[in-house]
Amino acid sequence: MVELCAAGRGKPDDVRAWLASLAELIPVPDRFARYTMSRDATLNFLKIGEHTLDTLAGDGLRFRDSDGDRFFEQHDVWTLGFHSGTNRSVSELASKSVVRFCRGAAGEWVRPMSWRVRTFAACPEREKCDGTWTHAPIRPDLVHGRVLETTVGPGARAPEPSGQVGGKPATVVLDCVTESRGEKLPLRSPLARRLYRETLGELRSGEIRFQALPGALAAQPDLARSHRITNCMSTATYLAKTLTEGGLTARSRNGYLAGVGAMPHGWTEIYEDGVWKILDPTVAFVARRWHLKDAQADQFDEFCAGSPYNRLIPFDCEAGAALVSHTHDAVAFPEVPTEVDARAASAR
């Protein structure tokens, strides 16, 4: 990590690459925009210099000036980094590390694994808050797993703040050790196979562009698609909807993709041969983007059509719905800033 930062700082920014990424960026519609990333936070996230950020702002990267600081639109910043090709931004490094497991042999995708999962959440309004927190129930049984130990469970009273989210004191709202395992479950339905391939094809061609989306937009995949954008949640909801319209039994799922750290992730489930199978075109797309070439990428594409892999931590929650909610003084906050950490607990 030290080497990475040092190398990043020493190398001049590839301004042309940043401008190219900006030119391709499809801004989230204005009514969903969130100007929450301060100038410093944006510089740190993209790992660029001030001159480059000013050049991007001058070329159309959206911002609002307030209280003597400049705030950038958080989804635009994530997407700008992910598609920059500079290999330095947080969105690139995080997405790259979370799918790194795909490089292992197929047996590595299904072996039993234990994870310590901790979710931190910050009250959107107060530094110190004694309100109540709710986390969707964890469901490792959906990927042949089980909960091994719970320190702070869904619905439990959250302890004093012990972490940070976005610079604010945060409370642990879930702390448990869970087991997951994958299984090779090839998809049989020709319709489901076709829809999976089409969805993956759209992502790969860029016809529907993989971007960061606000939850409220991801929950409306048709609207997102009309803007030619999607994320994992939106893709999961769209695929569940089209499978259901095609007469199949399908649903979407919200969870975490665990690796080095973890990311919120959404996928689709389809009921076939008496079991729920998993369709995850987004992870196949990101895996190929970062790590896999041709034959192995084809193998992983095929695996993600039906088979659960051992990095999925599912919750009793549809893709796009909130995993964590918060209430204080009888005011409910359906969307609260959270950060999740999931790391391998012990090999079994």
Positions touching Zn ion (CB under 5 A) are 123, 129, 131, 328
The amino acid that residue 179 corresponds to is E
Neighbouring-strand partners of residue 251: 269
For the CB of residue 260, give the shortest distance to Zn ion in the complex, in Å: 30
For the CB of residue 326, give the shortest distance to Zn ion in the complex, in Å: 6
Cβ closest to Zn ion, residue 101 vs residue 120: 120
Burial class (CB in 10 A: 0-12, 13-18, 19+), 25: buried
Cβ closest to Zn ion, residue 122 vs residue 262: 122
Neighbouring-strand partners of residue 150: 176
Residues contacting residue 279 through CB under 8 Å, at least 6 positions apart? 187, 192, 196, 239, 243, 267, 268, 269, 270, 304, 305, 306
- Give the whole-angstrom CA distance, residue 53 versus residue 216: 28
For 341, phi then psi, to 5°, come to -125, 120
For the CB of residue 74, give the shortest distance to Zn ion in the complex, in Å: 21
Burial pattern 46-75, b for ≥16 Cβ within 10 A else e, equals: bbbeeebbebbbeeebbbeeeeeebbbbbb
CA triple 112-118-121, angle to 5 deg: 150
For the CB of residue 170, give the shortest distance to Zn ion in the complex, in Å: 11
Cβ closest to Zn ion, residue 139 vs residue 328: 328
Burial pattern 214-228, b for ≥16 Cβ within 10 A else e, equals: bbebbbbbeebbebe
Cβ closest to Zn ion, residue 168 vs residue 241: 168
Q: 3-state class of 266 per DSSP?
A: strand
For the CB of residue 79, give the shortest distance to Zn ion in the complex, in Å: 30
Cβ closest to Zn ion, residue 4 vs residue 332: 332
For the CB of residue 216, give the shortest distance to Zn ion in the complex, in Å: 21
For the CB of residue 324, give the shortest distance to Zn ion in the complex, in Å: 12
For the CB of residue 327, give the shortest distance to Zn ion in the complex, in Å: 8
For the CB of residue 169, give the shortest distance to Zn ion in the complex, in Å: 11
Cβ closest to Zn ion, residue 275 vs residue 331: 331
Instruction: Look up residue 260 and give its DSSP letter.
Output: S
Q: For residues 299 and 120, is the Cβ–Cβ distance under 8 A?
A: no
Cβ closest to Zn ion, residue 129 vs residue 239: 129
Chain-centre distance for alpha carbon 91: 10
- Give the whole-angstrom CA distance, residue 64 versus residue 35: 7
Cβ closest to Zn ion, residue 123 vs residue 185: 123
> What ranges make up the beta strands (E) of the chain?
35-38, 63-66, 69-73, 113-121, 132-135, 146-152, 163-165, 168-180, 209-210, 229-230, 250-259, 261-272, 275-279, 305-306, 312-314, 324-328, 331-333, 338-344
Cβ closest to Zn ion, residue 158 vs residue 283: 158
